[in-house]
A and B are shown apart, each in its own frame.
Chain A
Amino acid sequence: MTATLALQVIQPILVLLLAPLLTGVVRKTKARLQRRRGPSIVQPYRDIIRLLRKESVLAHNASWLFSATPYFVLAATWVAATLVPTFRFDTGLGPAADLIVIVGLLASARFALALAGLDVGTSFGGIGASREMMIATVAEPAMLMLIFSLALVAGTTRLSDIAIFVQSPILGLRISLMLAFVGFVIIAVAENGRIPVDNPSTHLELTMVHEAMVLEYSGRHLALIELAHSTKLLLYVSLISVVFFPWGVAPVGSDMARHGVAILLYIAKLFVGANLLALFELTIAKMRVFRVPQFIGVALMLGLLAALLRLVSRSL
């Protein structure tokens, strides 16, 4: 009983603790691929600690919304990330771990950030918010379409059940799942503001999307937003790995040793995901803002195709 409780507590903490490391690994790999040495993989932790110590500067005309948003964004993202099974299926919040809930939490976090971007009234906040919402209006339906296609295959939108279904030997090679996988990757790239949709490391204020929206944040507020951003990336990598590569996740009722192995496997999956992301980002230039809907539209179409295939034949 205590062991289960401990695991229940470890899961959310692990998610939050690993998130900056994932960002650090992506940056490190990108730097190495560019023949740079790059900052240490623990640099994101140092950045967050440094920012937490710093004073937070607020614009004169910032309302309560502006200072409340970082807390809300981190809370919503953290809860959403906790709902995703990482190393064990039994997440405690199991019954609530529904894909649609996760989409809803992320959408409300984004909504709050966009409002905060508009709140201070700078032109960059406005540009960032408008671009972010433009991306959201295509990314969210695409995400829902992909979830429906998964639900049609697995018969549920509950994450752990989908994962258990994918893991089960009755499932052969499913084309609809492969299409959904590609779609999920596109959405993950877009939602996390990675190249080719947004460039997380740019200094060009006119091209920013996410960064423009949070340009006015500083100090501990910025630390919370950075942490939330890293957590969101971790969420998507975990989501893709648990739905499409659920092997190694500890089943309900496993002992501690099995859980230990599962945690190590989970970290290994994150590492692989981070490296693949870095490699992808290096081989492609950023697209024009108005090309982004087309890019995400591919994900929407893949979701639609996956659902259709599933309706045509139960074995596809």
Chain B
Amino acid sequence: MTTLPKILGGGTDVTGRWPRVAVSSKVWEFAGQQLEKGAWTLVAHWAEPAMVHAALRERGSGATGILSLDVPDRRYPSLGRHCLSARRPERAIRDLVGLEPEGAPDPRPWLDHGKWGLRHPLGERGAAGDMESYRFLPVEGEGLHQIPVGPVHAGIIEPGHFRFTASGETVVRLEERLGYAHKGIEALLIDAPLERAAKIAGRASGDSTVAYAVAFAQAVEAACDTAVPPRAAYLRAVMLELERIANHVGDIGAICNDAAFSLMHTHCAIMRERILRAADIAFGHRLMMDRVVPGGVANDIAPDGKNQIVKLLALITRQFPALIAIYEDTASLQDRTVRTGLLRHDLVMQFGAGGFVGRASGRTFDARKNLPCPPYDTLKFEIPMLERGDVDARVRIRIREVEQSISLLGQLFAQLPDGDIRTPVAPRAAEGSALVEGFRGDVFVWVRMNENGSVARCHLRDPSWFQWPLLEAAIDGNIVADFPLCNKSFNCSYAGHDL
């Protein structure tokens, strides 16, 4: 039986954790079947003007790699026929690059709403043609009614359209329409100088700017074979964990607020604010934006930074259990979160959903554990996992992860090595990829460098690509009024997904 390592071993360009090989359409088809069987998981799916790529992970062995298929005639066999998680990436490839997935089950556009003034911005650009109006999937039945929500919402949140079909209060189908936050990040990255590219990559999704910056930097370092100084690796991990704690604490409060329990929201907001302020003192930016650069980190931790964070951790260790006790002891709140928005285990596995969405439904994958980069390979921590898959489980995973991250920060500071924080990146024409665990899940970055050190081509895959479709499944059979609660418990990124 052919396995992923065998296919990858047959190629010539075998480097690092994400070797990429060009394959024949027969192997491509085989990959589709493996995805359908669930033996492989799709990690990312993107394209260049004459080539499609699929980053894959073999479930049993954990082997990872990238398969590429040459598509001179701009048509390729669709993976979406076999694998649900490939469908939206395929539609995005058709919109952005203009390659046609043959036999794709869904011919509708995805990111392109006909408002860009051009077509295929990443491929052979064409003039914008007339776009027929978007057709939502038909729903038939007696007494059904549709509720269109968004893209402009009553609160100040990101734009996205949700089309509910409901029977009374019960949701029969939810269909998402995204792409309103498209910024053309991948087009901006083409031929961007490295410094500017790092900044753009860090702005794909503001709440996980550290995760994106680290993933981009690691991909560049893998391409240019740069060794990061140990101190820089540790500081990156400190920032990643701080970002995770800040976002998780904010999320826990926001989920409770969507059940109109504002007490948790305000207390969590105060705690998040404290974390951001400590980050500002330690690294000079509240969200730690642009602190991670290819080759290391931009600046060392401030002299008072460690002290501030240690004090902060002591405070959180003291206050957090009390907050969690409020969450657990408020019966009216538990009544809202327990058994709401159930997400089945098999769907999570099929989509390879990462982060708290996957871990609350029994998928343990965590890039820090499964594909560890220094310093995570030497640290002691656990990956929490639950199987219920409801809103409550997603809250509890966050709670446990905050506790783990606090312990990780303690270990990181105890072992923080001295030394350089940055090595220069020696430019060369090469490719590299990286998978980094952000607070939402694993962020995948693939980058091809030019000889002069600028970025030739780059793909950033947000974890939300494989979480948004699951939200449609989780809300099924729930009542319309519970959607905000489910949505907040997923907390998918619009910006990172729409790019």
Contacts and interface: CB of A to CB of B under 8 A. Distances in A.
Interface residues of A, number: 29
A198 to B, nearest CB: 9
A196 B332 contact: yes
Contacts of A206: 147, 149, 480-481, 483-484
B146 interface: yes
Nearest to B483: A206
Nearest to B333: A285
B266 A127 contact: no
B423 interface: no
Contacts of A30: 262
A170 interface: no
Interface of A is mostly: loop
A275 to B, nearest CB: 16
Interface in A123-166: 123-124, 126-127
Nearest to A211: B154
B258 A204 contact: yes
Contact of A287 (B266, B267, B330, B336): B336
A202 B336 CA distance: 16
Given A287-B336, A288-B336, A289-B169, A127 B480 contact: yes
Nearest to A286: B260
B175 interface: no
A35 interface: yes
Interface residues of B, number: 32
B466 to A, nearest CB: 24
Q: With a 10 A CB-CB cut-off, give which of B155, B260, B265, B483 has the most chain A CB atoms.
A: B260
A285 B332 contact: yes
B391 to A, nearest CB: 12
A245 interface: no
A90 to B, nearest CB: 41
B479 interface: yes
B145 A123 contact: yes
Interface in B333-373: 333, 335-336
A60 interface: no
A287 B332 CA distance: 7
Contact of B260 (A123, A124, A195): A195
B188 interface: no
Contacts of B483: 206
A36 interface: yes
Contacts of A199: 260
B64 to A, nearest CB: 39
Given A196-B332, A205-B149, A282-B262, 7 more contacts: A34-B265, A123-B146, A199-B260, A285-B260, A288-B335, A288-B481, A289-B169
- Closest A-B pairs by Cβ, 8 of them: A203-B155, A286-B260, A285-B261, A199-B260, A34-B266, A285-B333, A285-B332, A204-B484
Interface of B: 145-149, 153-156, 169, 256, 258-263, 265-267, 270, 330, 332-333, 335-336, 479-484
Interface of A: 30, 33-36, 123-124, 126-127, 195-196, 199, 202-207, 215, 282-291
